[in-house]
Chain A
Amino acid sequence: MSGEVRVYGGWRDDLGLRVIPSKRIGKDVYEVFIGPQHPGSGHMRIIIRVDGDVIVEADPDIGYVHRTMEKLGEIRGWIKPIPLFERMAIHDACNITLPYVRAVEKLMGVEAPLRAKYLRVLLCEINRIASHLYGFAIFSIFLGHSTMYMWAMGDREVFIQLAEELTGARLTHSYPIPGGVRRDIPQGFPDMARRAVRYMRKRLEEYRKMFLENPVIRSRLEGVGVIPKNLAAELGLVGPNARGSGIAYDVRIIEPYEVYDELDFEVPVYTEGDALARTYVRVEEIAQSLRIIEQVVDWLEKKPREPIVDESIYKKYPPLHKKILESQGRAKLLPWMATMKVPAGAAIGRGETGRGEIIYYVESDGGVNPYRVRIVTPSARNVIAFKYALPGHRVMDLPAIYGSLDYFPPEADR
Chain B
Amino acid sequence: MEEGRVYLGNLDVAAKRARDILLGKIKLEKVVDWANAFSLWPVHLTTSCCSTEFAATFGPRFDGEQFGALPWVGPRQTNLIVIEGTVTRKMACAVRVTWEQMPHPKFAIAMGACALDGGLFYNSYNVVRPWEVIPIDIYIPGCPPRPESVARAIVELQRRIRSRRVASSWIREGWRPDRDYVAPKEDYCSWQRTSSPVPL
| A66 contacts B60, C-beta separation under 8 Å | no
Inter-subunit contact A153/B56 (CB<8 Å): yes
Question: In whole angstroms, how far apart are the Cα atoms of A153 and B62 in the complex?
Answer: 10
In the complex, whether B124 has a CB less than 8 A from a CB of chain A is yes
| Contact with A91, one of B52, B73, B200 (Cβ below 8 angstroms) | B52
**Chain B residues, CB < 8 A from A171:** 52-53, 144
Query: Which residues of A sit under 8 angstroms from B189, Cβ to Cβ?
Result: 15, 17
Known contacts A57-B198, A90-B144, A153-B59, A36 near B49 by CB under 8 Å: no
Residues of A within 8 A of B56 (CB): 153, 156-157, 160
Cβ–Cβ < 8 Å partners of A39 in chain B: 44, 73
Can you list 15 residue pairs at the A/B interface with Cβ under 8 Å?
A: A13-B97, A15-B97, A15-B187, A15-B189, A17-B97, A23-B195, A31-B195, A37-B43, A59-B196, A67-B126, A90-B49, A134-B55, A153-B61, A157-B60, A160-B56
Bound state CA distance, A67 and B52, in angstroms?
17
A-B contact count (CB 8 A): 131
B153 within 8 A of A: no
Chain B interfacial positions (CB closer than 8 Å to A): 43-49, 51-53, 55-56, 58-61, 73, 75, 86, 88, 90-91, 94, 96-98, 100, 120-121, 123-127, 143-144, 146, 187, 189, 193, 195-196, 198-200
- Residues of A with C-beta under 8 A to B55: 134, 137-138, 153
Q: How many Å lie between the Cα of A63 and that of B52 in the bound state?
A: 19
Contact between B90 and A64, CB atoms less than 8 A apart: yes
Q: Tell me if A19 counts as interface (CB < 8 A to partner B).
A: yes
- 14 further A-B pairs in the complex, CB-CB below 8 A; given A15-B96, A88-B49, A151-B60: A15-B189, A25-B200, A37-B94, A37-B97, A64-B90, A65-B48, A65-B86, A65-B88, A66-B126, A71-B125, A72-B121, A87-B49, A149-B59, A153-B60
**Bound Cα distance A38, B59 (Å):** 20
Give chain A residues whose Cβ lies under 8 Å from the Cβ of B126. Answer: 66-68
CB contacts under 8 Å to B, within A1-56, are 1-2, 13-17, 19, 23, 25-26, 29, 31, 35-39, 42-43, 47, 49, 56
| A87-B120 contact in complex given A17-B189, A37-B45, A43-B48, C-beta closer than 8 Å | yes
- Nearest Cβ on chain B to A55's Cβ, whole angstroms: 12
3 tightest Cβ-Cβ pairs between the two chains A and B: A153-B59, A154-B60, A36-B94
A contact residues, total (Cβ < 8 Å): 56
Query: At the interface, yes or no: A163 with Cβ under 8 Å from chain B?
Result: no
Q: How far is the CA of A71 from the CA of B103 in the complex (A)?
A: 39
> Is A172 close to B, CB under 8 A?
yes
Q: Measuring CB to CB, which residues of chain A are less than 8 angstroms from any residue of chain B?
A: 1-2, 13-17, 19, 23, 25-26, 29, 31, 35-39, 42-43, 47, 49, 56-57, 59, 61, 63-68, 71-72, 83-84, 87-91, 134, 137-138, 149-151, 153-154, 156-157, 160, 170-172, 410
Given A1-B200, A134-B55, A150-B60, also A19-B46 (CB < 8 A): no
Residue among A35, A91, A410 facing the most chain B CB atoms (10 A cut-off): A410
Q: Is the CB of B45 within 8 A of A67?
A: no
Q: How far is the CA of A306 from the CA of B91 in the complex (A)?
A: 48
User: How many Å from the CB of B135 to the closest CB on chain A?
Assistant: 16
B31 to chain A, nearest CB (A): 30
Of the candidates B91, B98, B100, the one whose C-beta lies within 8 Å of that of A43 is B91
Most chain A Cβ neighbours within 10 Å, of B51, B52, B198? B52
- Write the chain A residue with the least CB distance to B147: A170
Cα distance A17–B98 in the bound complex, in angstroms: 13
- A195→B127 CA distance, assembly (Å): 43
Say yes or no: A154-B59 contact (C-beta < 8 A), given A65-B88, A87-B49.
Answer: yes
Quote the shortest CB–CB distance from A409 to chain B (angstroms).
8
Contact B193 A61 (CB under 8 A): yes
- Determine the distance from Cα of A19 to Cα of B199 in the docked complex, in whole angstroms: 22
B48 to chain A, nearest CB (A): 5
Q: How far is the CB of A143 from chain B (nearest CB, A)?
A: 15
